Each structure stands twice: as structure tokens, then as C-alpha cells.
Structure 1
Amino acid sequence: MKLTLTTFVTLDGVMQGPGGPEEDPSGGFRDGGWLVPFADERMGEIVAEQFADADAFLLGRGTYEIFAGFWPKVTDPDDAVAAALNGRPKFVVSTRLTEADWSGTTIIRDDVVARIRELKERPGGDLQVHGSHGLAQTLIRHRLVDEYRLWVYPLVLGHGKRLFGEGAVPTALERVDTRFTTTGVAVHTYRPTGLPSYGAFAVSSEGSNTPR
């Protein structure tokens, strides 16, 4: 399976609490809900398309608990997000959860990186990660992400949990798709291509900069 990481981020990379004030107030974060004013019909269409590609979900505990508190109650068969989340396998990474009542859930407590590598080796479509800040940091450090789907919102918060924080490893990416909502949100899809390459600009005798 292809491991995809879907994240809502501000221009300065903050991914904390996009959906509401109480979603993740840890660290004194008081700007939760910053995504909501940008929601539009186009957002719903793209979200539905992305969830339809999922064969399984890999989630951190916090995101799992938010999803589990809402989506099992949505029984509309035409809701693409509910159909995917309720009907497909879910793996939650947590040392604190002792049981999971949401049908189709497996808890991963130990050997997290090895277990995720094992999941990726299974046949199928997307192994989708949504949000899940702590889990995302582990995936980034160990180069386990095959595709980033970054929803970039036109605002700056200046504080909060960031997608690429301390411990992120140098990585080159190629952009494979970009779509836009009517409210100015850019949905970029990137795939890692390996280590970055580097260069320098040399000043010629005429005073212009040329790459070398």
C-alpha cells in the first residue's frame, strides 16, 4: 500500500487544531478552528475523492478519538468519508488505548515503525494518515511517507504544532498535482524523490549571477 499523509496547514506550517477550539488546545493553543471559515463545496468534493482512494487508515490516538466520536454515527451510504472510515480497516498507534470499539480497528502499541513497514508491504491502494501530528513526525523521520497531500490555508498563526518540526529529515519533493478551492486554499500533492541536491550561484565578470 502507498502511505499518504493528508494534513491541513497554515502558511507557516501549523497543523494544530484546524477543526475547532477544543480539538487540540495542548500547549495553550487558543486558535483552534482556523480552517472552518475557508470551508466550501469544493473542499467537500476533494475530501470525498481522497477518502475514496483509501484501502486502510493509519491514525494517531488523538485523531482516532476525534474520528471515532463522530463518524460511526454517520450512516448515510452516500457519504464517501463515512463509508470509507466505517467500512475499511483502521490502525491506531497508541500506548494508552486499551480497547477500541470502532469496528475494524487494530491498536499498534509496539514496534511501530516495523509494523508500519509491514502494512506498506501489503497489496492495495492508499494507507491514509490524516492529521495525527505525533505519528506524522515519526513517519517523516523514518522516511515512511510516499505522498504528502498538503492543504495550505492562506493565513499565518505564528505558533502551534508544525508539520515539519524538529527532527524532520532533509528531503527533496516533486509536485504531482495542485488544486484550489474557491476560498484560496491550495491542495498540493508531493512525492519524495530522495535527498535534496545543492548548488551555488557564481558572479560572472559582467556582474550577473549564473548557477554552477
Structure 2
Amino acid sequence: MRLTATMFQTLDGVVQGPGGPDEDRSGGFDRGGWLAPYADEGMNEVVTAVFGRAAAFLLGRRTYDIFAAYWPTAPREVDGAPDVVAQRLADLPKHVVSTTLTDPAWAGTEVVGREGADVHSAVERLKEAPPSSVGDELQVHGSPTLVGWLVAQGLLDELRVLTFPVVLGHGERLFPTGSASAAFTLGDVRRTGSGIVVTTYRPAGRPVYRSVDG
């Protein structure tokens, strides 16, 4: 399976707490909920299409806890139509990277990294699984620390970024200072009516450094 990551970020790269004021207050973050004013039909179409390609999920511990607090009891239909996000998160396998989570209550969860297990090898095994009948992607959502680690390890196949037209000046960033250097090639680009820019990148090894004049 392809390993993909989908991230929501601000213009200054903040990925923390997009969904609501209390979603993630770690580090004293008090600017959560910045996504809501820009959520539109175009964004919903992108997110629905992404989740429609999922065969399984790989999540960091903090994002897993945020998801597990909401999605297990979320309605599987909205206004009589299937909610693809709720259905996929409920029905598909969820793999969470953690050394402290021992007894996950969310059905369908497997812990990766328990008891000193080699997380790199575990992720490689997950990627080697054949596509399922419902999708061909092992998907990461949120989990910025995990995404940075996957990029550094050369395990990520595709990065999707939804960039919102807002600057916060504070909060956890997708690639903070000290992140591993990496180059990418640009794939698809689209925009939504509210100004969200949706870009797809594929890893392209390490950056090349040279003068612009040759």
C-alpha cells in the first residue's frame, strides 16, 4: 500500500488544533478552531475523496486520542447521506504509534511500537500489505511528529497539504526548526472557494544546494 499523509496547515505552517478551540491545547495553544471559517464544499469534497482511498490508518498517539474521543460515536450518516470519514474511521484498521498505550478502547486499533518494537520495520510491513477491496492507501492524518519522522525515514510516499489563508503566529508546525531536510516534487494543485489551496507532494530525496547563477 502507498503511505500518504494529509495535513491541514495555516500560512505560517501551524497544524495544531484546526478543528476546534479545545481540540489540542497542549503547550498553552489557545488559537484552535482556525479551520472552521474556511470549511466549504470544496474542502469537504477533497476530504471525502481522500478518505475514500483509505485501506487503513497510521496515527500518532496525540492525534489518535483526539480522534478516539469523537469518531467512535460520530453519526455514520449526515442528512441521510453516508459520512465517508466516520464510516472509514469506524470500520478500517487503525495503527497507532505509541510506547505507552497498552489497552486501546477503540475497536480495530493495533499499537505499533509497544515494548521497544522496531517502528520502522513495522511500518514497512504495513506498507507491504496488498490494497484492500475498499482502498489502496495507508493514511496518516494530523500526527505532525509522526509525519516528520516518516519523511526523515524515507517511508512516506505522498504528502497532501491543505493550506488555509490565515496566520496564527503560534502553535505546533508541520516542519519545525530541526526537522530533517527533504526535497519534494509538486503534483496536483487546486483551490476551494474559500481560498484553501490543496497541494500534493512526492518525496524526492535530499535538497540540492547551489547558487542561482550556476
Task: Note whether the superposition's TM-score is higher than 0.5.
Answer: yes
AA partner of residue 107 (structure 1): V
Give the CA deviation at 1:85.
1.0
Q: 2:67 — aligned with what?
A: 67
| Residues 102-124 of structure 1: CA deviation (Å, up to 9, x unaligned) | 22110112322221122112222
Distance 1:169 1:95 in 2: 22
- Percent identity, aligned pairs only, is 52
Q: 1:181 — aligned with what?
A: 192
Aligned residue pairs total 203
Distance 1:141 1:157 in 2: 26
Structure 2: gaps (5+ residues)? none
Q: 1:105 to 1:181 in 2, by over 3 A?
A: same
Tell me the secondary structure at the aligned position of residue 178 of structure 1: strand
Q: Rg larger in 1 or in 2?
A: 1
Decide which moves more: 168-177 or 34-43.
168-177
Distance 2:154 2:168 in 1: 27
AA partner of residue 113 (structure 1): H
Matched, 1:28 2:28: yes
Calculate the TM-score normalised by the size of structure 1: 0.90
Q: 2:146 — aligned with what?
A: 135
Decide which moves more: 53-62 or 158-167.
158-167
Runs of 4+ in 1 over 6 A off after TM superposition: none
Q: How does 1:118-133 map to 2 (within 5 A)?
A: 118-124=125-131, 125-133=136-144
Question: Aligned-pair RMSD on alpha carbons?
Answer: 1.5
CA contact (8 A) 1:140 1:168 kept: no
Equivalent residue in structure 1 for 2:93, among 89, 95, 100: 89
| Residues 13-68 of structure 1: CA deviation (Å, up to 9, x unaligned) | 11111111111111111111111111111111110000000110001122112222
Calculate the TM-score normalised by the size of structure 2: 0.89
Equivalent residue in structure 2 for 1:102, among 100, 106, 111: 106
Decide which moves more: 148-157 or 165-174.
165-174
AA partner of residue 12 (structure 1): D
Q: 1:2 — aligned with what?
A: 2
Decide which moves more: 72-81 or 10-19.
72-81
Distance 1:156 1:101 in 2: 36
CA contact (8 A) 2:64 2:96 kept: yes
